[in-house]
Amino acid sequence: MGSYSSNFLRLLSYTKRLTHHVNQGRHHQALVLFQEIHSSLSHSLDPFIFPLALKSCAFLHCPLLGASIHSLTLKSSFITNPFVACGLVDMYGKCVSISSARQLFDEMCVRNVVVWNSMISLYTHSKNMQNALQLFEAMVELPNASTFNTIIMGWLEIEGKLFDALAFYRKMWEMSLKPNLITLLALLRACVGIAALDLIKEIHGYSIRNDLDAQPHFRSGLVEAYGRCGCLDKAHLVFESIGEKDVVAWSSLISAYALHGMANKALEIFEQMAMSNVKPDEITFLGVLKACSHSGLANESRMHFSRMHSYYGIEPNGDHYACLVDVLSRAGRLYEAYEVLKGTKIKATAKAWGALLGACRTYGEVELAEVAGRALFEIEPENPANYVLLARIYASKEKYEEAEKVTREMKERGVKAVPGSSWVI
């Protein structure tokens, strides 16, 4: 009895340490510890350690070690444990191939909803929604909220499929399944994409009735969603209800005001954030720079751009540079904007060069337009708008020969102008 108790306590201690390593992302240490557990307690292993080791294998992409662990589960008769089976399916899908995972899945005698969800998740992460939906329809187990969350988030990762995500949410209700916090967070993403104010209010009301609204990350999502729809008073009200306001909450409110051209309010909130000793991040500064850009605050934009790196140590990315170039270009400071583009530590984006090219047309600057146009031809050679705009800039200055060359080059590259259209929403 004493020996069994000793082994049990050792295994319990090992399992706690292994869990801690995996949860902290120390996957190398986790696998070293797993090998130590196996060598010292090979006759008294339990199924709880295998999913942990398989998770580390999947993260580090170790298919051979994963296959060895698979063999151990067979020898130990743990293959029927649903969490072990789930770990194996996930490991094969991420380390070998989804078809290997599906083969293992099909060969399993016992598959609970967790295993089904794991296989569906592999399909959605690879954006193979057709197979994910086929597997969903073939489920012999009743799907749960996690099943629906997986498919809803899968639709959100595919451009133009927001309404499919919302349709699946409605199907969830039809099957009498209650959305959980993960469902609501996913739905807010969809609402932001299509400005679905009624659905945002529905989600908000449901969260209050079901005690899900207290989570700060969810409230930050509500701030962003209401802000995107122009309900700034509602966004501010939700923001004020957040107890511990983190950088996500502050950034969401700043971005909301920036989006609707209320630069002074956005910058005022940014200063309040600084006084609250919350350190801004790159998302915060993107909101600040967009606020400056939308309101033509060129000097303020330069100041905040400089402060971002010099004071907070944040390296600007392509979107930050695009905002700065945009506001300088709009202000007619074209060569200053060009100097910013030349001095970037990263490759300037099409958005940044496009802002400069558009401003060149406004201010009749042909020389810089040619530089910006050529840069855009290299970045996105199949975008007809760049060729058309440069040709029009040439034509506006009666440089018809140059305009014709651009049009000819466009045709030689096989780029076709898209006919204009109007949308009524």
Element at 203 (helix H, strand E): helix 197-209
Cβ atoms 389, 370 nearer than 8 A: no
Question: 406: Cβ–Cβ under 8 A, 6 or more apart, which residues?
Answer: 373, 387, 390, 391, 394
User: What distance lies between CA 58 and its chain's CA centroid?
Assistant: 21
Cβ atoms 128, 110 nearer than 8 A: no
Residue with tokens 């709009």: 330
What is the DSSP code (8-state) at residue 112? -
CATH level 3 topology of 8-110: 1.25.40
Cβ atoms 33, 17 nearer than 8 A: yes
Say if residue 65's pLDDT is above 70. yes
**What's the pTM?**
0.78
CA 85 – CA 81 distance, rounded (Å): 6
Least confident residue range of 15-19, 108-112, 127-131, 358-362: 108-112
Q: Please give the pLDDT value at position 44.
A: 62
CA 190 – CA 155 distance, rounded (Å): 9
CA 247 – CA 244 distance, rounded (Å): 10
Asked whether the CA dihedral 123, 125, 129, 135 is positive or negative, the reply is positive
Average pLDDT over every residue of 189-212? 88
Residue with tokens 């400005």: 195
Cβ atoms 239, 252 nearer than 8 A: yes
Q: pLDDT of 340-395, one tens digit each?
A: 999 888 888 999 999 999 999 999 999 999 999 999 999 999 999 999 999 999 99
Class of domain 316-411: mainly alpha
Chain region(s) in the chain for CATH 1.25.40.10 = 316-411
Which has the closest alpha carbon to 147: 164, 157, 135? 135
Say if residue 168's pLDDT is above 80. yes
User: What residue type is assigned to position 30 of the chain?
Assistant: A
Q: Please give the pLDDT value at position 424.
A: 31
Say if residue 54's pLDDT is above 90. yes
Question: 144: Cβ–Cβ under 8 A, 6 or more apart, which residues?
Answer: 113, 117, 177
Cβ atoms 113, 144 nearer than 8 A: yes
Q: How confident is the model at residue 295 (pLDDT cuts 50, 70, 90)?
A: confident
Least confident residue range of 41-45, 132-136, 211-215, 281-285: 41-45
The three-class DSSP label of residue 167 is helix
Q: Please give the pLDDT value at position 135.
A: 96
Say if residue 339's pLDDT is above 60. yes
CA 17 – CA 33 distance, rounded (Å): 8
Q: Please give the pLDDT value at position 169.
A: 92
CA angle, 104 then 107 then 110, to 5° = 105
CA 135 – CA 142 distance, rounded (Å): 12
